[in-house]
Amino acid sequence: MIYVCRSCKFIFERVGEIELCPDCGKKSVQEANEEEKAEYIERKQHPEEWFDK
């Protein structure tokens, strides 16, 4: 399952339920929508394009 934090926009993958954002620690985690999932998958496939920005 792919989740997104509504506070800091951090997108991450977890197996099972999660409450707290691993990045900012807030309880703003929701399941990612289709657009956010696509972004996450794109980022995972091309990590070198993301680290330079």
Per CB under 5 A, residues contacting Zn ion are: 5, 7-8, 10, 21, 23-24
Residue (24 or 38) nearer to Zn ion, CB: 24
From the CB of 3, what's the least distance to Zn ion, in Å?
Answer: 10
Residue (7 or 40) nearer to Zn ion, CB: 7
Cα 39 from Cα 36, distance rounded (Å): 5
Residues 6+ apart with CB under 8 A from 43: 11, 50
Residue (7 or 45) nearer to Zn ion, CB: 7
Cα 3 from Cα 9, distance rounded (Å): 10
